[in-house]
Amino acid sequence: MRSMIPDYLTEALGDVEPDTSGEQAAYIPELAAADPDRLGAVFATVDGKVYGAGDTDTEFTIQSISKPFTYALALGDRGFDPVLAKVGVEPSGEAFNEISLESETGRPRNPMINAGAITAHSLAGPADMDPAERVERVVHGLSAFAGRRLGMDDAVCASEMEHAHRNLAIAHMLRSHGILTEDARAVVEGYTRQCSVLVTARDLAMMAATLANRGVNPLSGEQVIREPVVRQVLSVMATCGMYDAAGDWATQVGIPAKSGVAGGLIGALPGQIGIATFSPRLDPHGNSVRGVSLFERFSSDMGLHVMEVPAAARAVVRSNHVVGSGPDALRVFQLQGGIGFAAVERVVRETVDTAPAEARVALDLTMVHSLDDVARRMLLEIVRRLTLDGHEVYLVDPESIIPDPDPGDGGRVTVVGRLDQARTA
Ligand code: GLN
């Protein structure tokens, strides 16, 4: 059988292709000269499978899509507090190049607008780095997200620098507030080089998939950034990634995203996929016209909106029964599926409501396929409390889904691979 996913992507591209509305960014002359008809879309799953259609391997400059990744590098290199002291996380509702800072603190409102992104660039790498080393730190980091060494378009960079008056104005203003502590022009040059990094839609999908995959590049296996940083970056993408169109995007598409003026657009759906589209004509917000249409379509066709409420989990307690009789009687709670807070709460309720009369109790995890940290801790607390109530507790856990279970203070548990080992114990 042939996969239907590339066919679906081809069909979606065909639907948006006739739309030639919008304009290329004129303020970077080199970008205005690019082929406006390019069109591509790529899905990259969190386990590294890539599906694409159209112009998946055409290189273009990353532009503002570099912003969430550089913000991630700054958070990783400097830590949260120093970065948050200089760049806020409030959606500004303003255009990407608005010259505005928070009135009391002088901070840029968020790292997705240019003021915040220029600041975030200055915070990548250690404080005493020279500007060229900092650019290398950033390119190296962006490359790690993509899983290959990325190049740079010097012509686009020079073209933007020649007309960078607005970004220079922003940088000088940041410098006057003490948010930037380095030479304003050098920081804008570094930031412009960062924006001139060359990527393909395939690279962008992989970069987004790295965010969707808790910071681990699905192909290289490298942990590029830690999970708390991923959560921070995805949150800021969700609230600020589409500039003054962020609210429309959040309601209609609902995927943490970032656009760039060269026509790229990415979305990262936590735990599922990274998506990238490429189409250079932009709407008045500076977002790719056909890219936005494609994302609207992907989101509704495939139920990718992050606020889509999942079907209520199938009963986590598959059965609650007693095997054996007399003093050997064993109360068995057989659990199933993926267990998070809401599911483990059902297990707590079940164990409380059917307060086991039997001295021996087994929690059978054979059919549990995943367990988050909260669920693991609460299951161990169930074990501890049952022990304190005088029960002998068994964990049937053939695949060590809870490695080295330690129910803590006063708790005791015997781990077995099969239920019959608890029956005969
Ligand atoms: N390099 C561009 C700028 O700073 C990036 C803007 C964007 O992609 N929205 O203006």
3-state SS of 122-180 is HHCCCCCCCHHHHHHHHHHHHHHHHCCCCCECHHHHHHHHHCCHHHHHHHHHHHHCCCC
Identify the H or E element spanning 120. Answer: helix 114-123
> Catalytic residue among 197, 261, 292, 361, which?
261
Angstrom distance (rounded) from CA 115 to CA 169: 10
Locate the ligand 1 atom nearest the alpha carbon of residue 114 and give its number. 4
Catalytic hit among 16, 42, 46, 64: 64
Residue 154: the pLDDT is 97
Nearest atom in ligand 1 to the alpha carbon of residue 167 is 4
Locate the ligand 1 atom nearest the alpha carbon of residue 260 and give its number.
8
Token pair for 99: 């010259």
Identify the CA nearest to 148 among candidates 72, 199, 114: 199
CA distances from 89 to 234, 299, 378 (A): 11, 25, 33
Per-block average pLDDT, block size 10, for the chain (425 residues)? 92 98 91 93 96 97 98 98 96 82 90 96 96 98 98 96 96 96 97 98 98 97 98 96 86 96 97 97 95 97 88 82 93 95 93 92 96 95 96 96 93 95 82
Reading the block at residue 410, the tokens are: 């006063």
**Domains of the chain (ranges plus CATH)?**
5-302 (3.40.710.10), 313-424 (3.30.750.24)
Say if ligand 1 is within 6 A of residue 320 CB. no
258 included as an active-site residue: no
Ligand 1 atom with the smallest distance to the CA of 196 is 1
Residue 261, ligand 1, Cβ within 6 A? yes
Rg over CA atoms, the chain: 26
* Torsion angles phi and psi, residue 173, rounded to 5: -65, -40
pLDDT at res. 343:
92
The question of whether 8 is a catalytic residue gets the answer: no
pLDDT of residue 242: 86
CB 351 within 8 A of CB 333: yes
Count other C-beta atoms under 10 Å from residue 104's C-beta.
6
CA proximity to 400, closest of 366, 424, 372: 366
Best residue among 61, 62, 65, 97 to mutate for probing ligand 1's pocket (most ligand atoms within 8 Å of CB) is 97
Task: Please name every residue paired with 42 in a beta bridge, in sequence order, or none if there are none.
Answer: 52, 276
pLDDT digits (tens, 9 = 90+) for 302-351: 999 999 887 766 689 999 999 999 989 999 999 999 999 989 999 999 99
- Active site includes 27? no
Question: 64 C-alpha vs ligand 1 centroid, how far in Å?
Answer: 5
Q: Which residues of 132-165 are buried (b: 16+ CB within 10 A; e: fewer)?
A: eebbebbbebbbbbbbeebebbeebbebbbeebe
Contact 379, 347 (CB under 8 A): yes
CA of 196 to the centre of ligand 1 (A): 10
Is residue 60 in contact with ligand 1, taking CB distance under 6 Å? no
| DSSP track, 57-83 | S--EE-GGGHHHHHHHHHHHHH-HHHH
Instruction: Give me the pLDDT at residue 283, please.
Output: 95
Q: What is the DSSP string of 204-222?
A: HHHHHHHHHTTTB-TTT--
- Output the pLDDT for position 373: 93
Q: How far is the CA of 348 from the centre of ligand 1 (A)?
A: 51
pLDDT at 9: 97
Is the CB of residue 286 below 6 angstroms from any atom belonging to ligand 1? yes
Q: Select from 23, 98, 114 the residue to mutate for testing ligand 1; criterion: most ligand atoms less than 8 Å from CB.
A: 114
236 is catalytic: no
243 is catalytic: yes
Q: Report the length, in residues, of the chain.
A: 425
Q: Candidates 193, 195, 196: which one to mutate for ligand 1, based on the most atoms within 8 Å of Cβ?
A: 195
pLDDT at 315: 85
Pairwise CA distance, residues 318 & 372, whole Å: 19
**Contact by Cβ (8 Å): 252, 306:** no
